[in-house]
Structure 1
């Protein structure tokens, strides 16, 4: 099928690099808002007069509701852009995000705030796959991988610096509403400039119909899976003292239901004339391996971004229990330390794309996962007194490795899809990474809680438990965190096997 992207005449009036820069601005804003609320949530609860002991769980939906809506929108908006055109759907997403930002900023109560966050996420989540598909349309095969690497880097950097961005603004202005009001002028500028840049991008003829049954089943499966796995993370709300309850009784059944929904989704897609995701993608070895690697990258990333704040918060709280400002200091330190991972990951995504264009997907994938494996193995040896310099260097090594993998994985999946399926394929890339992250957080929490209880009981007779309980508990925490980094290393090993099974040259000159 002819690629509906651009004719030679049209490409002269569309600057792909300018378009990439502008769509990345909107992607960054939406990604930042995924995590920015965490820095403002304590102030939100005070301003909206919410009781910390009874309404914290409901307030957490300002975070989890965004993530769920973000995930759901990814599943179908990419396919809508295949049917109705990237430009129309992209602007619909950006406007939806801005409307949601205004609702959050003006929210008089928690319910309206959560509704606004869901509206925000429905727009923000879809901007990433739509932009990736747009890049697939505008850039030549040799340039596409690098451009996809940039989008992946910007998206990752955005939701990772959200904590730090929110913390800085709250520290300067102490006004959580300002965080969301600022989205409006920035988004309006991005909207106007992108409208101009995309004015000559054609809308392709509509091919096929929208797969509503597949969309409902996939969205429901992802939501149920997220809720079921997140139930286990409730265990992480406790510290290293006292008894812990097991996962809530509904966690297991929800995960089982999610697997059933996914199985039903596959059954429906195999019989659909216009499937939401063409399952033939998974019959191609390179694409199937890229999907496995993508899940492993998300899994490993979740291990790192969960362990770093846990390590820093535990150490500072145990060693400085009477410092009233220690939580703010811990949040600040954790934010900067995570930037060693995320900023290097963002920077490495571009050379990952250039290497993919030159050598194919296999080389940068194996190189990146190899570096990340070394990083995770080094981090398993963090002790109670690991310095920030050491932590930063090892996180940076891991970030470089993971960043190199972003572009080859995305390019392999997007290249395998025709022009009329690029949106759906791009959505698959992001959705699988999110699934990997969700599984990673759940597994880390369940394992970590169990292991620290075992080690605490086993060390009950340790003289250190009586003479220096803070040191005793920190040694347990460092031990458990070191063990969980091994899960990240295992994910890299699985990814390396999948990368080795890819063909040596995966760059395709297929243009749709």
Structure 2
């Protein structure tokens, strides 16, 4: 299946990489790396109780192991898409892969939660360098007419990775130890590096300028917003310090949680205004959003990213703390999701090129919302575990019908000259959804635990006894019911996010090929 790339002149044809005519080996090679970094988004979740015990830390600090990765993953996405266009998609992808693989080893060797968080930041930066290149390569290797099956594979990879992460994490945590959820990346990363070098073609480069002010504004805005949301409960949503200290300098400036959140929102608003006023080459070309389907698909994928992250934490804590499951057993509870997603991936790839992908995405989000609402109602200590498996069938169905159709919808009329920017924006919105969802679920879990256990213990400060907050020790049987109720409450957050996804999917327009891809090539 040849891929039209650059065939304008004899000179261009002579320089054309013959591997462009064999796009599928290249796609499988880059998808392996993409799968690895997405697995790392969710693999930590199942290890939280064991890691909390081994590292002797609290739940809020440990959840930064996930949030720091997601935040570092999200911040560079907008700029790294342009880096690929300028310095070569393949070269930039491989640099990101090396950083990701080396930092995975660092994570495994970290001796305390602080060092682990730092290592996860570096790992997230590597992932942020890699991810936009995968979508850009697909856009460059496959025409819109050929892109359906390729995007189906890309989408299935994203969906299955979010399900395999907890399963693999459970097996490794119960076996050699939680350090192996990071060590396993090393041989996979090396194999991916060899496959990419062999199979991925060279792509033509495109000159770009870089909007460094945009990078700084988006990074500051996201960090302030995420820190404020995730740490809100820690500081009772009030003042953090009476005087902000920068190194040895005392500024005398008080810092509060609401202040951080407001400052983050203001920074992001200034970022958008700057993107509109930047006449050179903005980090986010707002012209991308003139395509209604790109805009709606970006909103929908943000909801999907947030849903996947927020469902995993309350489910894992419920299975391990209330039902007393091991990490592997807890992870196996999600097996129906993985099986359904894997079985449906090939037919969904065929269907979404023949039928309107809007109805697939709509049905997928509806299935997600229904399955998660059902699961939240079943989260009690008395529910048989077999019954708890059934909602995950609906969740798996939703996964299968969301990722691929949304990706195809977003990229259908994306010209190759905007492939880097477009893939960066699309992946950025997914990661923003993930990181804000992670921060929100961390706050909600802590809040509902304090409230429900406070009610059960007569309101004694709403403080959870040892073992109740996330996993050190055994949860007293008397607290099983309130703990389950807290996790059930928290599960309503992903239900709401999936419902917003339903509304977004309703706004997807009928697919029309405008021919912009062929003209821009």
TM-score, reference length from structure 2: 0.79
Specify which of 136, 142, 145 is matched with residue 142 of structure 1. Answer: 145
Q: Distance in 2 between matches of 1:443 and 1:367?
A: 26
Shift in Å at residue 57 of structure 1?
7.1
Q: Distance in 1 between matches of 2:379 and 2:40?
A: 33
Show the counterpart of 2:228.
Answer: 228
Q: CA separation of 1:114/1:291 partners in 2, compared to 1, >3 Å: closer, same or farther?
A: closer
Show the counterpart of 2:206.
Answer: 205
Cα offsets for 1:376-433 (capped at 9, x unmatched): 3322421522233222221121221133111222222223432122122222222222
Specify which of 486, 507, 521 is matched with residue 501 of structure 1. Answer: 507
Aligned ranges for residues 319-338 of structure 1 at < 5 Å? 326=324, 329-338=325-334
Q: CA separation of 1:215/1:349 partners in 2, compared to 1, >3 Å: closer, same or farther?
A: farther
Give the conservation status (yes or no) of the 8 Å contact 1:383–1:478.
yes
**SS class of match (2:32):** helix
Show the counterpart of 1:427.
Answer: 424
Matched, 1:119 2:125: no
Specify which of 339, 351, 355 is matched with residue 351 of structure 2. Answer: 355
Specify which of 136, 140, 157 is matched with residue 154 of structure 1. Answer: 157
**SS class of match (2:204):** coil
Show the counterpart of 1:189.
Answer: 191
Shift in Å at residue 308 of structure 1?
1.0
Give the conservation status (yes or no) of the 8 Å contact 2:158–2:403.
no
Q: CA separation of 1:26/1:494 partners in 2, compared to 1, >3 Å: closer, same or farther?
A: closer
Shift in Å at residue 128 of structure 1?
2.0
Cα offsets for 1:175-215 (capped at 9, x unmatched): 83x555543333222212211212x4332232x31111112
Give the conservation status (yes or no) of the 8 Å contact 1:148–1:353.
yes
Q: Relative to total residues, which structure has the larger helix share, 1 or 2?
A: 1
Matched, 1:31 2:38: yes
Cα offsets for 1:222-276 (capped at 9, x unmatched): 22222222214769xxxxxxxxx55774432222122111111111111222111
TM-score, reference length from structure 1: 0.80
Specify which of 266, 270, 274 is matched with residue 260 of structure 1. Answer: 266
Specify which of 384, 389, 394 is matched with residue 387 of structure 1. Answer: 384
Q: CA separation of 1:350/1:435 partners in 2, compared to 1, >3 Å: closer, same or farther?
A: farther
Gaps of 5+ in 1: 236-244, 317-325, 462-468
**SS class of match (1:421):** helix
Q: CA separation of 1:234/1:330 partners in 2, compared to 1, >3 Å: closer, same or farther?
A: farther
Show the counterpart of 2:309.
Answer: 302
**SS class of match (2:76):** helix
**SS class of match (2:316):** helix
Shift in Å at residue 336 of structure 1?
1.6
Show the counterpart of 1:287.
Answer: 294
Aligned ranges for residues 17-166 of structure 1 at < 5 Å? 17-36=24-43, 52=56, 62-104=65-107, 114-158=117-161, 160-166=163-169
Give the conservation status (yes or no) of the 8 Å contact 1:154–1:346.
no
Show the counterpart of 2:215.
Answer: 215
**SS class of match (1:379):** helix
Cα offsets for 1:424-469 (capped at 9, x unmatched): 22222222223223333444455555556666676789xxxxxxx9
Q: CA separation of 1:399/1:388 partners in 2, compared to 1, >3 Å: closer, same or farther?
A: same
* CA-atom RMSD in angstroms: 3.6
Give the conservation status (yes or no) of the 8 Å contact 2:45–2:313.
no
Gaps of 5+ in 2: 241-255, 459-474
Q: CA separation of 1:43/1:380 partners in 2, compared to 1, >3 Å: closer, same or farther?
A: closer
**SS class of match (1:79):** helix
Moved more, 449-458 or 81-90: 449-458
Q: Distance in 2 between matches of 1:166 and 1:451?
A: 26
Give the conservation status (yes or no) of the 8 Å contact 2:45–2:312.
no
Cα offsets for 1:296-324 (capped at 9, x unmatched): 223332332122113223423xxxxxxxx
Give the conservation status (yes or no) of the 8 Å contact 2:163–2:337.
no
**SS class of match (1:142):** coil
